[in-house]
Structure 1
Amino acid sequence: MSWSAGAVAARSVVSLGPPEGYDARGRGRALAVRGGPRTAAAAACVVLGIGLIGGAVTGSRLTDDSGPAGAGTFATAGTLWHSVPVDRLFPPTVQGPGAGPGGADRTWTRVAVAPDSDCADAFDPLLRKALAPAGCARLLRATYTDATQTYVTTVGLLFTKADAAAMSSLAARFQREGLARRTDLMPRPYAAPGTVAASFGDKQRASWTLSVLTRMPVVVYAVSGWADGRGVDTPQPAADAMRAGATSAPAQAGLGNEAEGLADRIEQALRTTAGTATEKPS
């Protein structure tokens, strides 16, 4: 599958064909192709492996992002937005064993992929300002729904222009100042016309998570809401919505789990893809 606006995934077969980008009018354009038989085989394993990540503690990232980044992996990760097919970055179906409230299993189906873009209108002004020191090389987004089509979640991969030191500095600031938990710094959803997420706008944002990675120049985020278009007066960070005893509407609905669980698995797939792309043939 190539990158295209509003693409709907009704299948679970992963395409390993040549990746494409698109121009300002949404027309396909060929991009550099990496890999060969070994990469194709590894790609299938990457997507299949997403469903096997279960067992991680809900509400925490699935991999450790501490420590220095390998120069090769960091540099390679920054190129993945144009060298990897959309189905590897945002699989048509993502399995989340134990990702729901109380350890319930989750399955997310991709309903749309946004055109790759810059960050001009993708974030609220304050979040755009907070992320500005890292720069914006490219932003990729996809929107998913749960098995019952009750909830919708947009997950985003912001590929920055920053080096490892700048990413570490940005991550430290977000942690120190609690920026990822502020309601005025929520990421925006991608509302795809003609899908269950058609009414998923800014006022429908219910819960979110955002992680500044330090081993690759990427910011991973997800924002969730109800599929019926209802507004939310008091959005809640996923970490708070998932706390034991939380009684807010997003918490009771499990929308924190939707955002955190999907972001975790897309992030893990990205890390695996970056590691595979960095490996040298023996």
Structure 2
Amino acid sequence: MPRAGGTPGRPNPLGARSGRRSRVRGWPAAGTRAGAAARERAEREALRRGVRYRRWFVVLVGAVMAMSAVVVLLGTVGLLAETRSRPLTPAEQSRYKQEEIARRWQAWPATGVFPEEVKYQGLDSAQQYARRVGIAPETACRDGVDASVAAILDDHGCVSMLRATYVDQTATFVFTVGVAVLRDEESRVSAAEQLTQDDRVGVLPVAFPGTVTERFGTEQRQRAGWVGAGPYLVFSTAGYADGRTRAAVPPEEILHSELWPAARSIGNQIAYFLADPPKVPPCTQGNVC
């Protein structure tokens, strides 16, 4: 009988046994080729979209980086322009002077505020020197002046009171100078407008035991006054070293002609030292612009 899959009586020419699957792969159908082409087109389109998105991403990142670089550059230029040395404007020069004067009472040593010797004009316009006897501890403004003056200083923001006592060249007169520190020059001007010209009140004297000033107290004050300078009110008062009180001097007796001019001269010179305009540097970073 003939075998299945072969010619009757003859073997399979490929040597395969009848009834087994052929080892030769069949050609793909037309539908399979169309699917592969579609997938290839989809892959190419996806690749094109990816390339396009990547280009937009690169452009976006580049734009952000460029903007950041511009911002940094502008900031650097602005910082350099702001910090570079340049000439001071008139307003800056004025502010520099005000700030320098206003900090002197703290920046200077006490001996800088109250020099050891202060010049004044004596009789016949002879130049004399008042000698500093001592410097009192810094105190609150209300504790260094009479009550009527203290109320005005407190109302205008007085910060502190500095006091020192001097004697004239002959040790005949005693002078106490008080520096009231106000917040600023405007406060000082406002306070000065309310101060009276009563020469019986002002700074409280400071006496130093064991010196010629030890008998100088409130009752020994013969006259008192003040002068304004910058943010400071500089008070001065004078009396006799022998301890005579104001009440002990008869109204018809004229005070020594040198007493009050010397006191006023000493107070004015200390005010001048404190408010003397400083030398202003021409540039924001010193003398080189």
Q: TM-score, normalised by structure 2?
A: 0.60
What is the percent sequence identity of the aligned residues? 28
Q: CA deviation at 1:150?
A: 0.6
Which stretch shows the higher mean deviation, 72-81 or 114-123? Answer: 72-81
1:168 aligns with 2:189: yes
2:218: which partner in 1? 202
Which one of the candidate residues 113, 134, 137 is aligned to 1:112?
134
Relative distance call for 1:164 and 1:186 in structure 2 (3 A) is closer
User: Residues 217-256 of structure 1 correspond to what in structure 2 (within 5 A)?
Assistant: 217-233=231-247, 248-250=253-255, 252-256=256-260
**Conservation of the 8 A alpha-carbon contact between 1:127 and 1:184:** no
Q: For the residues of structure 1 that align with 2:97 and 2:155, how far apart are their CA atoms? A: 21
Instruction: Please give the secondary structure, in 2, of the residue aligned with 1:87.
Output: helix
Instruction: In structure 2, give the amino acid aligned to 1:182.
Output: D
Query: Does 2:209 match 1:193?
Result: yes
From 106, 127, 132, the counterpart of 2:154 = 132
CA contact (8 A) 1:122 1:187 kept: yes
Is the deviation greater in 116-125 or in 221-230?
116-125
Using the TM superposition, give the Cα deviation of residue 93 of structure 1 relative to its aligned residue in structure 2, in angstroms.
Answer: 1.2
Relative distance call for 1:207 and 1:125 in structure 2 (3 A) is: same
5+ residue gaps, structure 1, are 1-68, 236-245
Question: Could you tell me how far 1:118 is from its partner in structure 2?
Answer: 1.5
Q: Which runs of 5+ in 2 are unaligned?
A: 1-92
Q: Report deviation, 1:158.
A: 1.0
Q: Deviations over 1:49-99 (max 9, x none)?
A: xxxxxxxxxxxxxxxxxxxx9333223322212211222211111122xx2
CA contact (8 A) 2:225 2:236 kept: yes
Q: Secondary structure at the match of 2:178?
A: strand
Does 1 or 2 have the higher relative contact order (CA < 8 Å, sep 6+)?
A: 1
Q: In 2, are the aligned partners of 1:206 and 1:234 still within 8 Å (CA)?
A: no
Q: CA–CA distance in 2 between the matches of 1:85 and 1:221?
A: 19
Which of residues 269, 273, 276 is equivalent to 1:269? Answer: 273
1:170–1:212 Cα contact (<8 Å) kept: no
Q: Distance in 2 between matches of 1:185 and 1:208?
A: 6
Q: How far, CA to CA, are the matches of 1:183 and 1:126 in structure 2?
A: 12
Q: 1:234 to 1:132 in 2, by over 3 A?
A: farther
CA offset digits 1:113-152 (Å, max 9, x no partner): 1111212321111111122222221211111101111111
Deviation at 1:248, TM superposition (A): 4.4
Q: In the alignment, residue 119 of structure 2 is paired with which amino acid?
A: Q
The CA RMSD over aligned residues, in Å, is 2.5
Q: Which has the higher helix share?
A: 2
The amino acid that maps onto 1:112 is G
Residue 144 of structure 1: aligned partner: 166
Look up the match of 1:21: none
Q: TM-score when scaled to structure 1? A: 0.61
